Amino acid sequence: MASWKTITRRSFLVLGAAFLGGAAFGVYKVAEVPANPLVPGPDGMPLNPWVIINADGITVIAPRAEMGQGISTTLAALVAEELDVDWDQVRVLHGPPAQAYYNAGFVARMSNEPDFRLSQQPRSHNAILAAVPKIFSMQLTGGSTGAIGGFVQMRLAGAGAREALKAAAARRLGVAPDTLRTESGKVIGAQTFTYAELAAEAADLVPEDVALRDPSTWRYVGKSMPRLDMVAKSTGTETFGIDIVLPGMKFATVRMNPRRGGAMTSFDPAAALALPGVEQVVGLGNGIAVIASNTWTAIQAAQLVDVQWGEADYPADTAAMLTRIEAAFATEPDSRLRDEGDVEAELAKGDVIEAEYRIPFLAHASMEPLNATAWVKADGSVEVWCGNQAPIMTRDAIAGALRIGSDRVTLHTPVMGGGFGGRTDPVPAVLAARVAAAMPDTPVKLTYSREEDMGQDFYRPAAIARLSGRVENGKATALWGRTAAPSATRSALTRLIGFAPPGPDRATVEGGFDQPYGLPHYRYDGHVADLTVPLGFWRSVGNSMNAFFLESFIDELAHAAKADPLAFRLELMRDTHAPSARLLETVREMSGWDGLKRPGFGRGVAFCYSFGTPVAQVVEVEQTPGGIRMTRAWIACDPGLAMDPSIVEAQMTGGMVFGLSAAVQEEITFADQAVVQQNFPDHDALRMHATPRFEVRVLQNNGSFGHIGGVGEPGTPPAAPALANALFDLTGTRARELPLNKTFAFVT
Amino acid sequence: MSFTLSINGTPRVVDLPDDVPLLWALRDGLGLTGTKFGCGVAACGACTVLIDGQAVRSCQVPLSGAVGEITTIEGLGQPGALAPLQEAWVRHQVAQCGYCQSGQIMQAAALLAQVPEPTDQDIDDAMQGNLCRCGTYPRIRAAILDAAQMMKAG
Ligand code: FES
Ligand code: FES
């Protein structure tokens, strides 16, 4: 298997320009080059973290992990754009854990201002890049930040490499570099050289200044490129983490305490050890692992281990948890990130419309179950393969668990079979390393059963919201939203970095406080509930919660105002954020909104501005004899600069399917402190026959030039409210609780 | 126990307990990792292979019952020599994470072998056992319809 490690052993590396500093847009001065994590080899000079050139072609080391969102293709296109190589010369690999691969995009996500306001401010890459405190060790994939973070970094890497190659050719020919040009992986002058020929010499010739190309000349960026992983993924030859094969490998699985966080009081492995093929049962303190000749035998045997579980420190069942969440309304708000006008005075005028909404915990349920492979070597070092969204944290967690230095951990990040936020925690990698330590010098692949994957997830929080509003003369005058939920951010950060940074918990209210609705009186509060159920980031995080609350409630207000729900939203948005208003107009036109209303059909609209990208969606539903069917859906989005329209379309559609799946039928519930749902039959997603037909339009008006909104997540939040609103339109019943199959009968 | 399976036209010997499902014999016993594990309970289709041309969930077939000619994704086509169905998959840029796609493609291959010109309803009926968490269904449908056209044109 090709990896950054084997490649660097036989390659010359070319230095991409450093990326810090710089002033004017388009020209960047080389400042400091971060330490290069790629390992030196006998015949290669390791200099550059991003571009490797050898006889096989150009390999781009992508700092972000590929989970299906197409980020590796987009990052490679950015390099290729500046480097002047043909698309079929480009390959991409994920880099090792290293400071150089920190995610600049996350810094843009650390504000408590509504995104739609930030995007209107003049753009300064300098401010974003120079402000990055590297102590964050943020080699994270998430927050829909991959393209934003790479936009400058990766082009600079390509441009720096190009200029270095030109300089090498210029030295050979004794001419000035600017008399040469580059094309298709060659430097062309009086003589033509391939990049591979020049690579070794170019490594010494770091340019001082690099000018980035004018966007009007782009060939790859902004175009729909064939994904670099498409052939492998269509032939079964992509190597996911679960596909790692090593010599003499053994196969393991885990069974951890279903009462999360509780201890294991005792276990008896006898029955498991009696099963043919079982080699070892390993106690892990809060669970057990079985090592066997194959994964299936390990999974069977794990069930035969007789275990006594200790208790968790959270309530026994979902009802008691919701009571705990409800109690948070009586506490001081943790945040009030929006407070415009005088909501209380306006609501005191009377005729207040009120509603309460409830949504469940959710699992990520990626198609590839959690897994990791570890190999503890004779010298005590360890090599681990694990699809993960946070390599530096994962590496350090493995080191901590084995009590060895981080430099003795080699972590590979293979392609992930879905992530959706569920591969941020280092748990599978740590468990694999611990299990492998019980069988030194033998590679062990640890695979979770689907049941274990679902029961040991870090869930999207359950939440309750109470909203009040007022309409007058057909218009909304006031809205006060209050969301109560346990904090996913605090739960996750406490696990990951040992503490939760102070300050308001944005995720509890995002999607609610930050929307471009120009209501004269607009307040949004977050109440953080005291509940220790393990939580995590689920595609679009808090937006998946608050978009359902806010967009359902706006619909209720529109209905009370006897207004068309789409026109009602447009009215509220027109003067606040023109690109968002344009999206509502676009879905109105695409869907033929005015003509959609007819007997037997319902239509619903919803909107959410998240991760820098506003998205409007319309869903059409039909009452059929077999139940309610989603027939068609329309999506209009505006990420600003659309780096790859085909990938944007795929992510928008996929994100909406993900949101609709949860809205229709997904929930995680607890009984006796354990998750009830075990496998797809009780936590299913939409199937092909139940999925509507889609039409997507990608607009590029949002923000000033260089604004790149995320695309992996923003398709998800509007899905649930658009569907709920359509169901109201069809049936006259307002569902204020998810999943919707509690209220409606869908086609199965 | 030792079993001889006929996989992609080649006899392959695997030495595992006889109740181990074909899925795990392929993946763990033979290193044929193109066939994926998703649920283990016949609910996701990620493990779909063909046995004598029929799409089956390999997580449900014990080794002792794996008789017949087995075709896995590796046997359908290779990166340099794609089957027409796989070409359509690439043309329509179907895969996102790609994890479900081996199963989707094998299921679609069985469909097209039986129904060379499937209707939307045929596709719905054949494909609804194959889950895709990334939501690639619209492009899967387009690729199947396209492949059917290409195969008809020869
Ligand atoms: S793994 Fe066989 S159907 Fe899911
Ligand atoms: S492409 Fe990811 S599950 Fe289907």
Q: What percent of chain A has pLDDT over 70?
A: 86
Q: How remote is the CA of residue A746 from the centroid of ligand 2, in Å?
A: 23
Complete DSSP assignment for B104-144? HHHHHHHHHHH-SS--HHHHHHHHTT---TT--HHHHHHHH
Q: Which residue has the tokens 């990049």?
A: A195
Determine whether the shortest distance from the Cβ of A418 to ligand 2 is under 6 A.
yes
Residue A281's identity, in one-letter code, is V
Task: Give Cβ neighbours of residue A337 (< 8 Å, ≥ 6 apart).
Answer: A112, A504, A506, A509, A513, A514, A524, A526
Looking at per-residue pLDDT, the higher value among A94 and A9 belongs to A94
pLDDT reported for residue A742: 97
Q: Using CB atoms, which residue from A230, A449, A689 is nearest to B95?
A: A230
Residues A144/A171, Cβ–Cβ less than 8 Å: no
CA dist., res. A520 & res. A572, Å (int): 10
The model's pLDDT over A376-406, given as tens digits with 9 standing for 90+, comes to 999 999 999 999 888 888 999 999 999 999 9
**Within chain B, what is the greatest distance between any pair of CA atoms?**
47
Question: Cβ contacts (< 8 Å) between B73 and chain A: which residues?
Answer: 235-236
Of B28, B99, B59, B136, nearest to A366 by C-alpha is B99
Least confident of A16-20, A342-346, A564-568: A16-20
CA dist., res. A151 & res. A74, Å (int): 9
pLDDT reported for residue A149: 65
Task: Give Cβ neighbours of residue A299 (< 8 Å, ≥ 6 apart).
Answer: A253, A290, A449, B40
Q: Is the pLDDT of residue A17 over 70?
A: no
> Could you give all domains of chain A from N- to C-terminal order, each with its CATH number?
4-234 (3.30.365.10), 242-312+370-447 (3.30.365.10), 318-362+458-742 (3.30.365.10)
pLDDT reported for residue A429: 98
CA dist., res. A129 & res. A142, Å (int): 18
pLDDT reported for residue A392: 87
- Supply the mean pLDDT for chain A: 87
User: How close does chain B come to A173, measured CA to CA in Å?
Assistant: 39
Instruction: Pick the atom of ligand 2 nearest to A367's CA.
Output: 3
Ligand closest to CA B37: 1
**Phi, psi (degrees; rounded to nearest 5) at B30:** -115, -5
Residue B84's identity, in one-letter code, is P
Domain with CATH 1.10.150.120 in chain B: 84-153
* Average pLDDT over every residue of A546-550: 98
CA dist., res. A340 & res. A549, Å (int): 19
* Average pLDDT over every residue of A359-365: 98
Q: How confident is the model at residue A99 (pLDDT cuts 50, 70, 90)?
A: low
Q: Is the pLDDT of residue A638 over 90?
A: yes
Residues A479/A522, Cβ–Cβ less than 8 Å: yes
The model's pLDDT over A643-702, given as tens digits with 9 standing for 90+, comes to 999 999 999 999 999 999 999 999 999 999 999 999 999 999 999 999 999 999 999 999
- Supply the mean pLDDT for chain B: 97
Residues B35, A296: C-beta atoms closer than 8 Å: no
Residues B40, A687: C-beta atoms closer than 8 Å: no
Ligand 1 interacting residues, C-beta cut-off 6 A: B 37-40, 42-47, 57, 59
Residues A409/A455, Cβ–Cβ less than 8 Å: no
Q: How confident is the model at residue B122 (pLDDT cuts 50, 70, 90)?
A: very high
**Phi, psi (degrees; rounded to nearest 5) at A528:** -90, 125
Residues A297, B130: C-beta atoms closer than 8 Å: no
Q: How remote is the CA of residue B93 from the centroid of ligand 2, in Å?
A: 12
CA dist., res. A421 & res. A370, Å (int): 12
pLDDT reported for residue A41: 41
Q: Is the pLDDT of residue B83 over 90?
A: yes
Q: Is the pLDDT of residue A200 over 90?
A: no
User: How close does chain B come to A33, measured CA to CA in Å?
Assistant: 33
Q: How remote is the CA of residue B100 from the centroid of ligand 1, in Å?
A: 10
Residue with the smallest CA separation from ligand 2 atom 4 is B132
pLDDT reported for residue A245: 97
Task: Give Cβ neighbours of residue A297 (< 8 Å, ≥ 6 apart).
Answer: A251, A275, A276, A277, A278, B16, B17, B20
Determine whether the shortest distance from the Cβ of A211 to ligand 2 is under 6 A.
no
Domain with CATH 3.10.20.30 in chain B: 2-76
Q: How confident is the model at residue A97 (pLDDT cuts 50, 70, 90)?
A: low
pLDDT reported for residue A499: 83
* Average pLDDT over every residue of A64-93: 85
Q: Using CB atoms, which residue from B28, B77, B134 is nearest to A295?
A: B28
Of A500, A383, A486, A479, nearest to A432 by C-alpha is A383
The CATH class of the B84-153 domain is: mainly alpha
Q: Using CB atoms, which residue from B39, B102, B141 is nearest to A688?
A: B141
Question: Which residues 592-651 of A are in CB contact (within 8 Å) with B?
Answer: 646, 650-651
Residues A527/A487, Cβ–Cβ less than 8 Å: no
Q: Is the pLDDT of residue A11 over 90?
A: no
Q: Which fold has domain B2-76?
A: Ubiquitin-like (UB roll) (3.10.20)
CA dist., res. A46 & res. A109, Å (int): 33
Ligand closest to CA B48: 1
Q: Is the pLDDT of residue A10 over 70?
A: no
The model's pLDDT over A267-303, given as tens digits with 9 standing for 90+, comes to 999 999 999 999 999 999 999 999 999 999 999 999 9
Interface test with A, best of B16, B32, B35, B37 (most A CBs within 10 A): B37
Residues B34, A231: C-beta atoms closer than 8 Å: no
* Average pLDDT over every residue of A139-148: 57
* Average pLDDT over every residue of A51-78: 79
CA dist., res. A157 & res. A474, Å (int): 55
Residues A203/A15, Cβ–Cβ less than 8 Å: yes
Percentages (nearest 5) of helix, strand, coil residues in chain A: 35, 25, 40
Nearest residue on chain B to A539, judged by CA atoms? B134
Of A93, A58, A89, A78, nearest to A219 by C-alpha is A78
User: How close does chain B come to A333, measured CA to CA in Å?
Assistant: 36
Question: How many H helices and E strands in chain A?
Answer: 22, 29
Residues A8/A43, Cβ–Cβ less than 8 Å: no
Q: Does A681 touch chain B (CB under 8 A)?
A: yes
Which residues are paired to A385 by β-bridges? A373, A412
Establish, for the pair of chains A and B, how many residue pairs have beta carbons separated by less than 8 Å: 204
Q: Does A73 touch chain B (CB under 8 A)?
A: no
Q: How confident is the model at residue A561 (pLDDT cuts 50, 70, 90)?
A: very high
Q: What single-letter DSSP state applies at residue A702?
A: S
Q: Using CB atoms, which residue from B43, B86, B133 is nearest to A681?
A: B43
pLDDT reported for residue A22: 20
Of A92, A51, A78, nearest to A195 by C-alpha is A51
Question: Cβ contacts (< 8 Å) between A238 and chain B: which residues?
Answer: 98
Q: Using CB atoms, which residue from A230, A368, A689 is nearest to B128?
A: A689
Complete DSSP assignment for A297-312? HHHHHHHHSEEEE---
Q: Does A417 touch chain B (CB under 8 A)?
A: yes
Residue to probe by mutation, ligand 2, list A230, A234, A364, A367, most atoms within 8 Å of CB: A367
pLDDT reported for residue A123: 40
